[in-house]
Structure 1
């Protein structure tokens, strides 16, 4: 099974931290669950319902073990924009690290947003405004393909339908300071960031998950240009590794995507 390989290759590193040990226990408990099946999981003091246990464990690793969303702030009530919230694993982390934060959570997939809101109520997480709309460049709606796990996107052809949208730029300009802007919007990030390029001056930290889909241009240079002209420093990594990448052009054997990067942007 997949999690036995995971355990043997990662166990030594993970055992050194409490959250790493918790991930190992989650893998033992839920690693054998069928894909795309509603599952109740417990991690720390949180109890969540998730639509896919394997996707949740990857989220937990990035968010709680590797702390992709950790940032420094002196603000008593930091403002966090979470674009592409999914079921709320990121919200649980933000609430744990920054208990007085004011969070605006955007989730385009209506069934996933309902699970998100149920998880927030179940865990008594307050201070979160949930916007069940896609983050985009206008308010005219956008064609959006659903997915049972965590990869629904504007490029997915599965159950594609028109969903309501918001112009993120308008939300950004309503604030005087945004301590963290997290953006995991499955391919819409280039268009949205380009539209917001004149509205990022008061954003202090940013996480962008960059995606490149097959049969669509790779637009990493556009994203980096927005960050550089907005005065950010940045660091880029990827969770994928390819053997013989000049002949192996797929992201983890993915049939729709050939590149995914994590971009961490911050101000000195």
Structure 2
């Protein structure tokens, strides 16, 4: 199983689809514009891709403000900078805010009903510390994890 937290438009989801036959894939993407592109991009994947339109966070089922980034990616009208955090990403934000439900990473894993997750990729634009430093977070089912870290 592969879980892509901050799946953007599905680059890594599609890569796993090409490289691993019969892979279970979960793509988490809270940005509504990117989410629509993600749905279109993974529609022809041979593996089943479950899309979760939530923000991974340290608490479940909170309704939070999700700050939409400037639409800059390759002039496609997409944002790579959207974040649950405002202060750390303010220079890259568009000023648009949407309400978004949250989910904990371990809750997401447990909802899948698997014994192990082969890989979690996390790109959450500065929210990695609050997510991963939660002392109650259970990552015992995760074999490998790649995290893009933002230092500011």
- TM-score > 0.5, shorter chain as reference: yes
Alignment of 1:71-150 (within 5 A): 79-121=1-43, 123-138=44-59, 139-147=61-69, 148=71, 149-150=79-80
Greater percentage in helix? 1
**How many Å separate the matches in 1 of 2:62 and 2:27?**
19
2:83 is the counterpart of 1:153: yes
Partner Cα separation in structure 1 for residue 58 and residue 37 of structure 2: 26
Aligned to 2:76: none
Note the aligned Cα RMSD (angstroms): 1.8
Deviations 1:167-191 (A, max 9, x none): 2221233431010011001111111
The answer to whether the Cα contact below 8 Å between 2:57 and 2:105 also exists between their aligned partners in 1 is: yes
Bigger relative contact order (CA 8 A; separation at least 6):
2
Q: CA deviation at 1:196?
A: 6.7
Give TM-score, length-normalised by structure 2: 0.80
* Cα deviations by residue, 1:28-51 (Å, 9 ceiling, x for unpaired): xxxxxxxxxxxxxxxxxxxxxxxx
Q: How many residues align?
A: 134
In 2, the alpha carbon distance for the partners of 1:175 and 1:187 equals 28
2:109 is the counterpart of 1:172: yes
- 2:99 paired with 1:162: yes
Corresponding residue for 1:264?
none
Structure 1 residue 127 displacement after superposition = 0.9
Matches within 5 A, 1:1-268: 79-121=1-43, 123-138=44-59, 139-147=61-69, 148=71, 149-154=79-84, 155=86, 156=90, 157=93, 158-173=95-110, 174-195=113-134, 198-213=137-152
SS in 2 for 1:210: coil
Q: Distance in 1 between matches of 2:18 and 2:45?
A: 12
Q: Which residues of structure 2 form unaligned runs of 5+?
A: 72-78
Using the TM superposition, name which of 181-190 and 149-158 deviates more. Answer: 149-158
